[in-house]
């Protein structure tokens, strides 16, 4: 496919079918997900009335479902295969798989430290995790709090952004008082 092929519902369906019918990961354009995102974004911006609006909504759901299916199929093939062919994976898929690899490495690290009696190492990991910070956007007013690090934070108003210790952030997220902001370097 050329680098600038326009995405349509039919072309997406054909790509998903081709991926489903093959045991190996199929080659698709490097900017596929960005083109697909543009297609969906443009579709969502269009204004229709009556039956045309219902057709548009159905098309959005169908394209979203096909996208999810394609991504899951490609990731599942990669995770379940012995030899991963990264050359056919898209950058967005590699981003997801990086986290999978990090999860496996962390699991092995904890298991190895536990089995080999490295309690100081486990204590260090625990302490590092407790002092990990999370960037939040507040959804509600929150009074001043004392963090697990014994520092004072707040008060906060809706839409405020702050960095808090992981445990405090999780409590606020659970209470739906704040949401995590995914910050990438």
* Chain segment 131-164, per-residue pLDDT in tens: 789 999 999 999 999 998 899 999 999 999 999 9
Would you say the pTM of this structure is higher than 0.85? no
Task: Give the confidence band of 2 by pLDDT, cuts at 50, 70, 90.
Answer: very low
Kindly report the average pLDDT of the chain as a whole number: 90
Position 13 scores a pLDDT of 95
Percentage of residues in the chain with pLDDT exceeding 90?
74
Position 182 scores a pLDDT of 84
Q: Which of 69-73, 86-90, 91-95, 113-117 has the lowest mean pLDDT?
A: 86-90
For 97-128, letters b (16+ CB in 10 Å) and e give beeeeeeeeeeeeeeebeeeeeeeeeeeeeee
Position 6 scores a pLDDT of 82
Q: Are 158 and 135 in contact (CB under 8 A)?
A: no
98: pLDDT strictly greater than 50? yes
**56-59 long-range CB contacts below 8 Å, 24 or more apart?**
59/9
Task: Give the confidence band of 39 by pLDDT, cuts at 50, 70, 90.
Answer: very high
Beta-strand runs (E) in the chain: 133-138, 145-146, 152-153, 161-165, 178-180
């Amino acid at each position: 496919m050329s680098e600038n092929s326009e995405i349509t519902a039919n072309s997406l369906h054909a790509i998903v079918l081709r991926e489903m019918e093959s045991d190996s990961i199929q080659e698709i354009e490097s900017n596929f997900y960005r083109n697909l995102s543009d297609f969906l974004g443009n579709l969502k911006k269009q204004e229709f009335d009556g039956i045309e609006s219902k057709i548009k909504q159905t098309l959005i759901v169908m394209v979203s479902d096909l996208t999810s299916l394609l991504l899951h199929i490609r990731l599942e093939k990669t995770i379940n295969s012995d030899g991963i062919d990264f050359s056919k994976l898209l950058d967005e898929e590699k981003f997801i798989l990086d986290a999978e690899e990090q999860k496996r490495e962390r699991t092995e690290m904890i298991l190895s430290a536990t089995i080999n009696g490295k309690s100081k190492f486990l204590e260090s990991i625990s302490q590092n995790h407790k002092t990990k910070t999370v960037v939040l956007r507040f959804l509600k007013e929150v009074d001043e709090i004392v963090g697990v690090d014994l520092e004072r934070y707040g008060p906060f108003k809706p839409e405020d952004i702050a960095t808090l210790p992981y445990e405090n952030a999780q409590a606020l997220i659970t209470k739906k008082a704040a949401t995590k902001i995914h910050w990438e370097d």
